[in-house]
Amino acid sequence: MEYPLLEKLNEEQRKAVLQTEGPVLILAGAGSGKTRVITHRIAHLIINKGISPYNICALTFTNKAAAEMKERVISLIPNSYHGISIKTFHSLCLTLLRSNADTVELKSGFTVYDTSLQEALIKEIIKGMGLDIKLFAPSQIANRISHAKDSMILPDEFGSDLRKDFYLENVRLIYKKYEERKKQNNAVDFGDLILKTVLLFKNHPPVIERYNILWKYIMIDEYQDTNKIQYELTKLLAGHHKNICVVGDDDQSIYSWRGADIRNILDFEKDFVDTFTVKLEENYRSFANIIEAASNLIKNNSERKSKNIFSSKPPGDKITLTQFYSEHEEANAIIKQIQKLYRDEKSYTKFVIFYRTNAQSRYFEEALRSSSIPYKIFGGFRFFDRLEIKDIIAYLSVIVNPGDDISLLRVINSPPRGIGDTTLEKVKAFALSRSISVLDALNIEIPDIRKGTFKKMKELYNKFQDLIDMQKANENPSKIVLQLLETMGIHEHYKNEDSLESSDRLENIEQFVTAIKEYEENTENPSLSEYLGDIVLLTSEENTKELSDYVTLMTVHNSKGLEFDYVFLTGMEEGTFPHRMSMESESEIEEERRLCYVAITRAKTKLFISHASFTRKYGNVEDRIPSRFLKEIPYELFENGRTASEERYTPSYSPKAGDRKENVALDNKKRSITTADQKNLSVGDKVKHKDYGIGKIAEISGNGDNLKVKISFGYSQKSFLLAYTVLEKVN
């Protein structure tokens, strides 16, 4: 008897479920029921095809997704699910390595290092090599090693084309020593789990043959998010039977910064001949106007599979698009709109506020607090609870109150200064014995503390004293903060880390400076002490874990897989969304567009989009033009057309004719940047990029304004249009 629940599937979903043999590519548009298809496919294989549950392996990315998939399978076939492998990539590989420990030169009971243990070992190695911990930050090195493993790059291959680069050569040596130490400790890290499994399969054919016989049917969810090593694992698991089904949406590929490669899903039909492809285009989540907007937006991408998503629901409300003068005005107006809607909805959980970067949350947090509306930040911390902000607050607390030992001890090695734990214990004991502050003790030569270390202590003491003197002289709080960032090397530290995380931290610091300047402008006699007192009142609020009804705030990257009745998509300005660091290559613009597509398709009932005419960076007012993505949404889908003036919208890479200010700025920029020929750039040259640092030109293509360069930055490559990219040739 055929599995009865197939009747509840639409025609395309049924095709995807019934095609069980050979390679299958399911292109599942947003809200099209992909999890339903995967779970029904498993049920169909077991009930209708008579396949043993032990012969089925389904992989996804998160424990939550795996648990949900397993729960749904159990509900469909409660008596037949036992034995199915429904796991994350990492949990599957951990199981495989534990079963084959001897083959991969591990002893039974090996340890899996988490991030903290990984960084602790790397820190030990860096110190042993006599390297500067500031330059070779353990967290940054750990990230580089993880990315290398995701790209299947072993220590001897790391930076092989840049051997003369001092930094990368030392990273390679750290990587090599790190692997040696882990082997001695009988340990692996998260990056090893998949890499060692792939190497196990490649180097020991009988092992992969055994698992190919066991798992005759492979299913992989969110295939667009796979990286190189996961792609290799996928091909090996497919084996000779090639009964592999991948489900994903290239239009929702938004994690290239984590190593995800959109080519994996785009090239699946090339990798597996005779692929059966089915498109799930009917959206069951959102009203039609929302889906039409998303569909028209994403069609502007060239790197995608052709799809035409549509909604089974009625049109619903049109999209509200509003231009505000400032970010403050934008935040306050959105909170008022939420209050108005709440009167009917009676639940805050139906509302979400999206923003492109974490730093943007501050305005909404302030507006929500002032309106006494509960909120939670999904996948992150409240603004004043973020590490870099708490560090700055600790610095300022010492400046206002030099006797605040707790705050000083928090930041005494942030950024790293080489004042070790043993030294700090001696300083604390000395301060206690003399009844003085730890800060004052830094200025005294304490027995058993080396002269070199005392020099660092005294240097820090003098820096604090200069800032304390500024405070006593009643300098503006913002001036003190800016001096603090420079004097203590905070800005330089995060800039030198040159990572997405450090870039995010710099944006938060920038937002803190803006916040304190705004405080000055709205206060008759601003003081650092008063401002810190205000922050304490904000951060001592009730624990958000106790909340059950709240407005959700999150970055768009964190929104994937979620849905809300009312979505507020904010900060839709050039430089914000698309982000300024993603505007120099077409591939990065396309990923930003996919990110916008994801944001729009989270809305079920109503979508609000907003942008500001002016934003503030380090307190300075900057003019903003609306995001290019807004012009890609049909005019008739907005409530009253576009409320922003048409001439302020920009196309892909240059402003509209008639927008004189932008044209002049762009013309000046063009004149200041020469072509590759004029700069005498060629493949193999080293160049410096303002955001990505030093890299090596791997490829030059195109001509004129379309002249492109592809640059290798260690383990990753970036492409840029040269006419809009400032590069400095490095000898």
Give the number of other Cβ atoms within 10 Å of residue 178's Cβ. Answer: 21
Residue with the two structure tokens 């700090």: 424
At CA 544, angle to CA 538 and CA 548, rounded to 5? 140
DSSP category for residue 722: G
Using omega within 30 degrees of 0 as the cis cutoff, is the peptide bond preceding 578 cis? Answer: yes
Is pLDDT of 611 > 60? yes
- Report pLDDT for 3: 57
**Three-class secondary structure assignment of 520-584:** HHCCCCCCHHHHHHHHHHHHCCCCHHHCCCCEEEEEHHHHCCCCEEEEEECCCECEECCEHHHCC
Mean pLDDT of 328-334: 95
The one catalytic residue in 19, 20, 35, 95 is 35
- Report pLDDT for 115: 86
The percent of the chain in helix, strand and coil, each rounded to the nearest 5, is 55, 15, 30
CA atoms within 13 A on the CB side of 123: 13
Residue of 134, 483, 512, 184 lying closest to 359 (CA atoms): 512
Task: Give the model's confidence band at 720: pLDDT under 50 very low, under 70 low, under 90 confident, else very high.
Answer: confident
State pLDDT tens for residues 105-150.
998 889 999 888 999 999 999 999 998 887 888 988 999 999 999 9
How far is the C-alpha of 327 from the C-alpha of 357, rounded, in Å? 14
Q: Is 34 a catalytic residue?
A: yes
Q: By the 8 A CB rule, do 56 and 245 touch?
A: no
The one catalytic residue in 222, 388, 584, 685 is 222
Mean pLDDT of 542-548: 69
**Residue 632, helix vs strand vs coil:** helix
Is pLDDT of 729 > 50? yes
Q: Is 222 a catalytic residue?
A: yes
State pLDDT tens for residues 37-95.
999 999 999 999 999 999 999 999 998 899 999 999 999 998 887 889 999 999 999 99
Residue of 320, 319, 250 lying closest to 287 (CA atoms): 319
**Mean pLDDT for the chain?**
87
Q: Is 172 a catalytic residue?
A: no
The rounded percent of the chain whose pLDDT value lies above 90 is 66
State pLDDT tens for residues 168-197.
889 999 999 999 999 999 999 999 999 999
- Report pLDDT for 642: 52
Q: Is 542 a catalytic residue?
A: no
- Report pLDDT for 26: 97
- Report pLDDT for 133: 81
- Report pLDDT for 688: 81
DSSP category for residue 654: S
Is pLDDT of 163 > 70? no
DSSP category for residue 420: -
Is pLDDT of 408 > 60? yes
**Three-class secondary structure assignment of 212-275:** HHHCCEEEECCHHHCCHHHHHHHHHHHCCCCCEEEEECHHHCCCHHHCCCCHHHHCHHHHCCCC
The one catalytic residue in 88, 140, 226, 252 is 252
* Of 641 and 128, the one with more pLDDT: 128
Residue with the two structure tokens 């307190």: 619
Q: By the 8 A CB rule, do 286 and 313 touch?
A: yes
How far is the C-alpha of 456 from the C-alpha of 719, rounded, in Å? 42
State pLDDT tens for residues 16-28.
999 999 999 999 9
The one catalytic residue in 602, 616, 642, 718 is 602
Structure-block tokens of residue 654: 């240059």
The one catalytic residue in 12, 150, 189, 221 is 221
Helices 451-472, 421-434: inter-axial angle, 10-degree rounding: 60
Task: Give the model's confidence band at 547: pLDDT under 50 very low, under 70 low, under 90 confident, else very high.
Answer: confident
Is pLDDT of 463 > 90? yes
Mean pLDDT of 243-267: 94
Is pLDDT of 542 > 60? no
pTM of the full structure: 0.80
How far is the C-alpha of 261 from the C-alpha of 270, rounded, in Å? 15
Q: Which of 97-111, 152-166, 482-496 has the lowest mean pLDDT?
A: 152-166
CB under 8 Å to 133, separation ≥6 — which residues? 123, 126, 127, 416, 418
Output phi, psi for 695, to 5 deg: -145, -175
Mean pLDDT of 552-563: 94
Mean pLDDT of 381-408: 92
The one catalytic residue in 15, 34, 87, 642 is 34
- Report pLDDT for 321: 96
**Residue 314, helix vs strand vs coil:** coil
Q: Is 426 a catalytic residue?
A: no
